[in-house]
A and B are shown apart, each in its own frame.
Chain A
């Protein structure tokens, strides 16, 4: 589905169309609200475009299956929500450790546990970052519109393939279920990256080669191409075989972290609005950023100097726009999120004592309304002027 004709699309549908445009060839999933439409649409669309869909027996199997399909050389994706995201974590860690490109969509709903299945939340921010055990970096992208659900899915595949890592598309119910007018980019406008293939013959190929340079990542041969290599979740050496050597183990873990932090600057950056002369910054992502944008526009209309920072990449955390904001000695940074305060933590770490960092939190599946953010902006300006 491409072309310049405007269409009404749902966030979840746009994600599937983006995935197909990026070359998705295998989807494995398990029904769970509010991400189910992604599985349903993949079931219909993939076999039309030479891809395959399988509804697995559970969430764990879905994550496992996409790792397997990716090792067999096909671009792979799964989608889930809250409880399913928890279940997938072990095999997300496997994909991190074994450096298997894949895309995991989490359409956030209210938790913990079964929570409120049909209601929006942004409570998986920290789980996306730290859900699997052990030291690891992970790339997490958060769309705030239906169009972005499309474009960021393409980007997620590009990053996954290029960095040989799972990428998490952290949506929320608000964006996943929203239908919105979009004009999808033409195929020619899309950048689609495919994974690098080894240029060394089997025998010399090292699937986990350490080039001593985080910019260089070993290409990934597909199973069946004659390389006969080994993949394991055990800490391993450059040849892929397990190692108990502490130095080799440490080096391997460090390498899979460094390859991502090194490329932080190439990941989707923050959208900024009125930040040049802002006195109060609103830092907001995903669906909530829509309210934040409205609030900032309303504030400007009322003569208040508010600015918006909307991080598109959530993890690794983008310090840059906040450091720029910090240098302006703002009166406050307001952080609205549909949770009890998760993304606010790294914001506080970056801003430090420069100004108050104010969490604006809402639970129970209720959207944060623009007026609530606007109120917080007004209050911050008042308080800032008083002090």
Chain B
């Protein structure tokens, strides 16, 4: 299906800055398709990002867009949503942005259940600064700051968000484009805080160091490790090793924060508050 490009993209700002073979264009397209299929009004949708390769995406997207400071997209977006709950607020973030410098904001947004849709362009590396390891770099992988292999344990970001009370959590990859679009669509429809871990590939800084030289090698690597969520629970720990579930991982609707705050305002107006 052809998308009306001008409606969603700032065509004049293209070409984008991403390297050839980068997965971020695929994830961006999935977001745009999801917006299109959900029918969100582009004038009432705000896209917020932090710093990193992923965070350049909003610059190409024809909405109110906000490119913030490193790690802080979620609190900026929180302010927007609190100020005007009518807006659809989408956060585009990367794994360094969301899991390292901005990890605190991610868990608290999940805890609050504020109505943001956060899509993490997760290529498990710092691409913008040319290939340092992130909290999501798999153990043993090489990075410019892990020249002997990644020696720290990585996060499972979906589990982190789940632990923080996230009520809608999904995962997909740049290989599974239709599936990824559907996951983002479901996330956009969800009223509270929704999180999509969108695995993406960085052939330039991750692939080259890890014997996944071509974009195709990397996409196959994403494909081979992804397991449908429906099969995941039936697998043994040995079978799960090196793999990850994709699909909707958590969907437990609960009242969105600005709705709850609406009740606070009614109460405050009525009783005047207590010291």
Contacts and interface: CB of A to CB of B under 8 A. Distances in A.
B33 interface: no
A366 interface: no
B69 A241 contact: no
B80 A223 contact: yes
Interface in B41-77: 42-44, 46, 48, 58-59, 62-69, 72, 74-77
Interface residues of B, number: 45
Residue of B13, B68, B83 with most chain A CB atoms under a 10 A cut-off: B83
A71 B10 CA distance: 20
A229 to B, nearest CB: 6
Which applies to chain A's interface (DSSP): helix, strand, loop or mixed? mixed
A91 B68 CA distance: 9
Contacts of A73: 83-84
Contact of B72 (A91, A223, A242): A91
A44 B273 contact: yes
A228 B62 contact: yes
Nearest to B66: A231
Contacts of B104: 57-58, 61
Contacts of A45: 273
Interface residues of A, number: 46
Given A61-B72, A61-B78, A48 B269 contact: yes
Q: Which of A64, A69, A90, A231 has the most CB of B within 10 A?
A: A64
Contact of A26 (B83, B105, B108): B83
Interface in A16-33: 25-26, 28
Interface SS majority for chain B: helix
Interface in A200-254: 222-234, 241-242
Given A44-B273, A90-B69, A231-B66, A28 B43 contact: no
A34 to B, nearest CB: 18
A68 interface: yes
Contacts of B272: 48
A54 B65 CA distance: 23
A61 B84 contact: no
Interface stretch (B145-153, B221-229, B260-268): B260-268
Given A73-B84, A241-B13, A65 B108 contact: no
A74 B43 contact: no
B275 interface: yes
Given A70-B79, A74-B84, 18 more contacts: A26-B82, A54-B78, A56-B75, A56-B108, A57-B104, A64-B78, A65-B82, A68-B80, A71-B79, A71-B80, A76-B83, A223-B64, A223-B87, A227-B64, A228-B62, A228-B65, A232-B66, A233-B67
24 contacts: A25-B83, A28-B75, A28-B79, A44-B268, A44-B274, A47-B261, A47-B273, A52-B265, A54-B78, A57-B105, A57-B107, A57-B108, A64-B68, A64-B69, A64-B75, A64-B76, A71-B64, A71-B79, A72-B79, A72-B87, A91-B72, A228-B43, A231-B65, A233-B68
10 A-B pairs with the lowest CB-CB distances in the bound complex, closest first: A68-B79, A65-B79, A47-B268, A61-B75, A72-B83, A64-B75, A69-B83, A69-B79, A232-B67, A68-B76
